[in-house]
Homo-oligomer: A and B are copies of this chain.
Amino acid sequence: MTEPAEQPRTPDHLETITQALNSGMFVHVRRMLQQMRPGDVAWLLESSPSPSRKVLWQLIDPDDYGEILEELSEEVRDGIIRLMDPEKLAIALEDMESDDLAYVLRDLPEQLFTQVLDQMDEQDRQRAEQALSYPEDTAGSLMNTEFISLRPDVTIDVVLRYLRRHSELPEGTDTLYVVDQHNRLLGDMPLASLVVQAPTATVAEVMDTSVEAIPLTMTDTEVANLFERHDWLSAPVVDDNNQLLGRITIDDVVDIIREEGEHSMMGMAKMDDDEDTFAPVLTSARRRSIWLTVNLGTALVAASVSNMFEATLSQLATLAILMTIVPSMGGIAGNQTLALVIRGMAVGHIGDSNARWLLTKEALVGLINGMVWALAIAVVVSLWKGSWEIGLVIAAAMFINLSVAGIAGATIPLVMKRLNIDPALAGSMALTTITDTVGLLSFLGLATLILLH
């Protein structure tokens, strides 16, 4: 009996391989890569600066290409696919599950797409075309069509004998599905249940008929929320007639949850979530310029608001010194509400029935925040600048801006969702424009009215 092999922890892998690569020990690297799992190789590629990636890819056994491509993030995969010729790519893709196949094909440039499809054998091409026929980001595009289905009238013993005719079950199989002669889903039979049943029982007697099937057209976000809420490992996908078409497995759902998390987080920071950490410098600089352009626009909007008060500012330089405080606080308070609402929408907590309650609540939080911070800033500024009038002006502006920030932070994502705009990316930019404008207008406006009349 052998002890399980002592596996080096993967961060060590990264060190060792990077060193070997830098010393030109390519044969050694090739051997190490062969011993690694596809997921680890994918992780290594993602963790490597873009120049090392090309070298690594050439050292990988082409038989492993398919499994590794499946595991790579979109941006890194695209870079690597550009290094491959269509013929090799077609061979690599043939090993993939149908959902991953469609996922990769969908992203290919049109010319390469046609070339790759031409290189595939008939059966794989049909499988690919079938998978591509479902809209992206729906249950259809997430499902794979490799699964085992049973008829209800056979006994458990027969099922076990049938399974033993397979050398292995389709990847990620945890449940068998029970269908009638028209392939309509009747129930399911988790393996964990199968193995405790008496061999003489029939499938119909012991199957679980309460199985909840996923409609083809459900969005991937809803699918992920259902998996999470019910702790599923897999779920069957059916069409309108309850016919079983495929199954979705938890590994794909984990990817969705990870991507959604990254999308919202990177979105709050004005970044594409698929930006590759180790992309070349020029690619990175170019990708980030979109949001810097938008921000320059909003910064100029804010500047043109203060421009309206040039006369006031030239009379009282103290206002210039203080004028950034109110917009800054409004931006933070508004973004807090915005993030809360975006998260609530992502996990499906916010619907028509509670949106109004939430809006009222956030407006009240804004009012309370407004009162608290108006008082705080009034005290600080009155003491610092020795003028209770300036303290009063900044307090009033703070109250107005934080109240507006609460309402805007809750309203913007709800409205954007209705207009099918992604609030994670555009939301905080819109919000900041509002809080900057309202903050400057109210502070400089009130100052002009009260201090300079």
Residues of chain A having any CB pair with chain B under 8 Å: 1-5, 7, 10-11, 14-15, 18-19, 37, 39-40, 42-43, 46-49, 71, 152, 160, 163-164, 166-169, 172-174, 180, 184-187, 191-198, 204, 209-213, 227-231, 233, 242, 250-251, 253-255, 257-258, 260-262, 264-271, 275, 277-278, 281-282, 284-285, 288-289, 291-292, 295-296, 298-300, 302-303, 306-307, 310-311, 313-314, 317-325, 327-329, 332-333, 335-336, 338-344, 347-354, 357-358, 361-362, 364-365, 368-369, 372-373, 376-377, 380, 428
Question: Contact: B168 with A339, CB < 8 Å?
Answer: no
Apart from A169-B192, A313-B313, what are 17 other A-B pairs with CB-CB below 8 Å? A14-B354, A43-B349, A47-B348, A47-B354, A164-B196, A191-B195, A250-B250, A250-B254, A261-B261, A265-B343, A282-B368, A288-B333, A288-B336, A296-B329, A296-B376, A307-B321, A320-B323
Please give the distance in Å from A383's CB to the nearest CB on chain B: 12
**With A and B bound together, what is the CA distance between A352 and B258 in angstroms?**
24
Question: Contact: B43 with A368, CB < 8 Å?
Answer: no
Please give the distance in Å from A252's CB to the nearest CB on chain B: 9
**With A and B bound together, what is the CA distance between A304 and B247 in angstroms?**
61
- Known contacts A254-B257, A292-B369, A348-B11: A191-B193 contact under CB 8 Å: no
**A4 contacts which of B172, B186, B338, B349 (Cβ < 8 Å)?**
B186
Question: Contact: A186 with B231, CB < 8 Å?
Answer: no
**With A and B bound together, what is the CA distance between A332 and B260 in angstroms?**
21
- Known contacts A292-B329, A323-B320: A1-B250 contact under CB 8 Å: no
Kindly report how many copies of this chain are found in the complex they form together: 2
Please give the distance in Å from A108's CB to the nearest CB on chain B: 24
**With A and B bound together, what is the CA distance between A306 and B325 in angstroms?**
12
Minimum CB distance partner of A334 in chain B: B269
User: Which residues does chain B contribute within 8 Å of A299, judged by CB atoms?
Assistant: 324-325, 328-329
Interface residue SS majority, chain A: helix
User: Which residues does chain B contribute within 8 Å of A39, judged by CB atoms?
Assistant: 229-231
10 A-B interface contacts by CB (under 8 A): A1-B204, A3-B242, A4-B212, A172-B231, A257-B257, A265-B343, A289-B372, A298-B328, A307-B321, A310-B318
- Known contacts A269-B339, A296-B329, A350-B277: A195-B193 contact under CB 8 Å: no
User: Which residues does chain B contribute within 8 Å of A172, judged by CB atoms?
Assistant: 231, 233
Please give the distance in Å from A271's CB to the nearest CB on chain B: 5
Question: Contact: A47 with B180, CB < 8 Å?
Answer: no
**A196 contacts which of B166, B230, B267 (Cβ < 8 Å)?**
B166
**With A and B bound together, what is the CA distance between A15 and B353 in angstroms?**
6
Question: Contact: A306 with B335, CB < 8 Å?
Answer: no
**With A and B bound together, what is the CA distance between A39 and B213 in angstroms?**
16
Please give the distance in Å from A150's CB to the nearest CB on chain B: 12
Please give the distance in Å from A210's CB to the nearest CB on chain B: 7
**A275 contacts which of B230, B329, B340, B349 (Cβ < 8 Å)?**
B340
**A321 contacts which of B48, B266, B310, B351 (Cβ < 8 Å)?**
B310
Question: Contact: A373 with B292, CB < 8 Å?
Answer: yes
**With A and B bound together, what is the CA distance between A333 and B293 in angstroms?**
11
Which 9 pairs from chain A and chain B are nearest by CB? A261-B261, A320-B320, A269-B339, A314-B317, A39-B229, A265-B265, A231-B251, A191-B191, A268-B268
**With A and B bound together, what is the CA distance between A269 and B331 in angstroms?**
10
User: Which residues does chain B contribute within 8 Å of A197, judged by CB atoms?
Assistant: 164
Minimum CB distance partner of A341 in chain B: B277
Question: Contact: A288 with B369, CB < 8 Å?
Answer: yes
Minimum CB distance partner of A7 in chain B: B212
Question: Contact: A169 with B196, CB < 8 Å?
Answer: yes
Question: Contact: B325 with A303, CB < 8 Å?
Answer: yes
User: Which residues does chain B contribute within 8 Å of A152, judged by CB atoms?
Assistant: 1
User: Which residues does chain B contribute within 8 Å of A261, judged by CB atoms?
Assistant: 257-258, 260-262, 264-265
**A254 contacts which of B254, B361, B362 (Cβ < 8 Å)?**
B254
Please give the distance in Å from A342's CB to the nearest CB on chain B: 8
